[in-house]
Amino acid sequence: MIDIKLLRTEPDVVRENIRKKFQDDKLPLVDEVIEKDRLYRETKVECDGLRNLRKVKSKEIGGLMVKGQLEEAELAKKTVADLGKQLEEKEALEVQLQEEILDIMRVIPNIIDESVPIGKNDTENVEVERFGEPAVPDFEVPYHVDIMERVNGIDLDSARKTSGNGFYYLCGDIAQLQSCILSYARDFMIDKGFTYYIPPFMIRGEVVTGVMSFAEMEGMMYKIEGEDLYLIGTSEHSMIGKFIDTIIPEGELPKTLTSYSPCFRKEVGAHGIEERGVYRIHQFEKQEMIVVCKPEESMDWFHKLYSYTVEFFRTLDIPVRTLECCSGDLADLKVKSIDVEAWSPRQKKYFEVGSCSNLGDAQARRLGIRVKAEDGSKYFAHTLNNTVVAPPRMLIAFLENNLNEDGSIRIPEALRSYMRKDIIAVPEK
């Protein structure tokens, strides 16, 4: 959510940003919020005037009663009552306008960084850099579910019976592999100086609307029936929500946190849920990294965060590339975003395994996360988040890049102390 002062003083900047995001249908919202803001401020002044006048008239009543001027006192009481009714109506209008302005402001997209490439959708995202040599083995790489089934590592049929499409049972070595990858990711981030968290897996509605746009919420979040609670789609939601309505001493920044959680997503949209696979599913686990920092430090942290994901994947012998999201592919709260994509030897292309986002002060404004400077002044913090690893999607890249011709799966050195083996063998029939 942008600063309303920007709308008041530089509305053309906001309009141009909307055009850059190819959301021209939102252009009328700029004039609408400016007009409502004008009415709100006028109403606020009127309310202040009525309160002061009522206070003055109320004081007069006592003086008139002391002097025995009862008729004048009764007239003054009537005036105070009338002022009270007027004030009640104006205060209701003030609250209504404030809520309407907030609703509109939540829909107007955040101002993107000037370095963001301009494009309509994800087909116009821009490759930044590649890490590792993408290779295709001289044997056929099977579909990831087939690889897992060969080592008795997945049961999709049973999951369909218990839960439907978009769910799975991982078992045996593959279940152990996923747990080990998450444990390694946890330790990897702790070694980077991040504090490890396991957050609540449900959050209240005010936190949901604070961390994401309404459109994202509708397409992702599961609502708990009869409760003001939602299942988290990523631990970022809980971790940023942790700071709601707080004032952080500047000396305590940056806050560098890494969190584990299961994640639950509707996956509503064009892609839908896979009939047979674990790339797009309703439930998965993830290790996340979150930073709360001073505004002038957020871009430095942005580059650090996605470089950690690149480093993590390279320690597991998986080639990756970074892809900058263009303006039309950025969610409305984001200032800048880079996806990390892993190489798929089977598909002979890269696919997304993580996303790093700088949200500027958008989440902080919505949630009331402020910083107290040494001079006593206060300002909104900047927030960032990035995926360390999100199996089982990451398992696809891991299995394809570490597959041997006989169907066994090599365990990279970084993971061997966790798995306590250097290979997952195909069971004998």
115 located within any domain: no
Same-domain pairing of 72 and 139: no
Look at residue 129 and tell me whether its pLDDT is greater than 80.
yes
429 located within any domain: no
35 located within any domain: yes
Helix (H, G, I), strand (E, B) or coil at 221: coil
Q: Domain with 244 in it: what CATH number?
A: 3.30.930.10
Same-domain pairing of 186 and 79: no
Same-domain pairing of 156 and 219: yes
Question: What spatial distance separates the first Cα and last Cα of the chain, rounded to whole Å?
Answer: 59
- Tell me the mean pLDDT in the region 13-21: 97
275 located within any domain: yes
At residue 270, the pLDDT reads: 46
Same-domain pairing of 63 and 138: no
pLDDT, one tens digit per residue, over 149-199 is 999 999 999 999 999 888 999 999 999 999 999 999 999 999 999 999 999
Same-domain pairing of 205 and 299: yes
Look at residue 288 and tell me whether its pLDDT is greater than 50.
yes
Residue that is last in its domain, among 56, 74, 105: 105
At residue 135, the pLDDT reads: 93
Look at residue 216 and tell me whether its pLDDT is greater than 90.
no
Look at residue 64 and tell me whether its pLDDT is greater than 90.
no
Residue that is last in its domain, among 74, 105, 136: 105
Same-domain pairing of 203 and 342: yes
Same-domain pairing of 338 and 308: yes
How would you list the strands of the sheet with 230-231, edge to edge?
202-203, 230-231, 222-223
At residue 218, the pLDDT reads: 73
Same-domain pairing of 166 and 32: no
**How many angstroms separate the CA atoms of 60 and 245, rounded?**
41
Same-domain pairing of 200 and 281: yes
Yes or no: say if 118 and 22 are a contact pair by the CB < 8 Å rule. no
- Tell me the mean pLDDT in the region 81-98: 92
15 located within any domain: yes
Least confident span in 107-121, 275-289, 363-377, 414-428: 275-289
Same-domain pairing of 370 and 268: yes
Provide the number of structural domains found in the chain: 2
DSSP alpha helices (H): ranges in 106-163? 144-150, 156-162
Confidence of residue 109 (pLDDT cuts 50, 70, 90): very high
- Exposure pattern of 51-73 as b/e (b: 16+ CB <10 Å)? eeebeebeebbeebeeeeeeeeb
398 located within any domain: yes
Residue that is last in its domain, among 43, 72, 105: 105
Q: Domain with 47 in it: what CATH number?
A: 1.10.287.40
pLDDT, one tens digit per residue, over 243-285 is 999 999 999 999 999 999 999 988 755 455 556 778 888 899 9
155 located within any domain: yes
pLDDT, one tens digit per residue, over 357-408 is 999 999 999 999 999 999 999 999 999 999 999 988 899 999 999 999 999 9
At residue 1, the pLDDT reads: 81
pLDDT, one tens digit per residue, over 308-361 is 999 999 999 999 999 999 999 999 999 999 999 999 999 999 999 999 999 999
Look at residue 304 and tell me whether its pLDDT is greater than 60.
yes
DSSP-assigned letters across all residues of 69-93: -HHHHHHHHHHHHHHHHHHHHHHHH
- For residue 44, what are the β-bridge partners? none
**Cβ count within 10 A of residue 259:** 25
Sign of the alpha-carbon torsion through 147, 153, 159, 164: negative
- Which residue's structure tokens are 């394809």? 400
Q: Above pLDDT 70, what percent of the chain?
A: 98
At residue 224, the pLDDT reads: 93
Same-domain pairing of 174 and 31: no
- Tell me the mean pLDDT in the region 139-153: 95
Kindly state the tokens that stand for 113.
């960084």
Which residues constitute the domain of residue 23? 4-105
110 located within any domain: no
pLDDT, one tens digit per residue, over 27-57 is 999 999 999 999 999 999 999 999 998 888 8
Look at residue 102 and tell me whether its pLDDT is greater than 70.
yes
Look at residue 217 and tell me whether its pLDDT is greater than 90.
no
Look at residue 144 and tell me whether its pLDDT is greater than 60.
yes
